[in-house]
Amino acid sequence: MTMNNKTRGDYFLGLCLIILIFLLYRSGFFTVEAWQNFVDHFYQNFIEKDRYMMLVKGLRSTIFMTLFATLIGVAVGIILSVIRVAHAGGIHIPVLNALADCYIAVLRGTPAMVQLLIWNFTIFASARDLNKMYIAILAFGLNSGAYVAEIFRGGIEAIDRGQMEAARSLGLSYGKSMRLVILPQAIRNVVPMLFNEFIVLLKETSVAGYIGIDDLTRAGQNIQALTMEHSQPLIMVAIIYLLIVMFLSYLVRRLEKYLSRSRRG
């Protein structure tokens, strides 16, 4: 009997479904009490007194934080990578290069959460009227900058050396060749990776609760403290993160396809 991939997939899907239903049935999942219990808890955790709004607001600050941190990260990353590439490419700026090296080593070599705590409790210790959100954006953004710098360096180094040589032989200065010839191509190469950095940051900001920002994770914990239920708020938070990340990954894939197509043409 021959079976093409599609029908095999269908059978497999059906089989999984049957096994799932059977297991759930055996574990008492379909009893009225279990279902009622689930619905009651769900109501208590998310519907009653509009508690879902806590999650919505948490999600809003998570996305706000991630977005601006990524922007800072990209800006810092481009500057750092250009300094390092230029140094390697013959434009010697020893002090700046050493600083960039040091920056990347320190910020990549320490956990983001430790950095966040240091920013909040040591560096900005006396800044009481400063919104904590800005501190978090700064901490995550500068941290991300170190990673983005490496991404960009990879992107720039992936451009054929001949491009730079050709631009220079046409009489463009190093800065101009970099800005007009190399960087536009490098940026196109690394855009998908930048989206990935956004995804990484989205998950990394879940430690912002440590300095008292009510991000998505912390919102889930706040609901836990209110309803004293452990699993449901946490699993809901996980599902929200997962959905966002899956959606973004889908966008990245589309983007990669689009970019590779336009290059061919």
Partner 1 sequence: MKKFLLFVLILCAAGGLYYYLDCKNKAPEQIPEPKLSSIEQLKDQKLAAQRGTVGQMIAEDLLGGRSEELLTTFEKYVDAVSALRQKKIRAIIMDEQPAKRFVKEIEGLAIMKQELANESYAIGFKKGNTDLVNKVNAALNEIKSDGTLDKIFDKYYNGDLKQINPDEIDFNLNADGGKLVVGTEAGFAPYELKVGDSYIGVDIEMCAAIAKKLNMSLVIENMNFDALPMAVNSGKVDMICAGFTVTEDRKKNMDFSENYVVNAKHVALVRADDYEQ
Residues making contact with partner 1 (CB under 8 A): 9, 12-13, 16-17, 19-20, 23-24, 26-29, 49-51, 53-54, 57, 117, 120-122, 125-126, 128-129, 209-212, 214, 221-222, 224-226, 228-230
Q: Which is nearer to partner 1, 66 or 232 (CB)?
A: 232
CB of 249 to partner 1, least distance (A): 11
CB of 122 to partner 1, least distance (A): 7
Q: Which is nearer to partner 1, 197 or 214 (CB)?
A: 214
CB of 258 to partner 1, least distance (A): 20
Q: Are 240 and 216 in contact (CB under 8 A)?
A: yes
CB of 177 to partner 1, least distance (A): 44
CB of 124 to partner 1, least distance (A): 8
Q: Which is nearer to partner 1, 5 or 169 (CB)?
A: 5
Q: Which is nearer to partner 1, 53 or 67 (CB)?
A: 53
Q: Which is nearer to partner 1, 158 or 238 (CB)?
A: 238
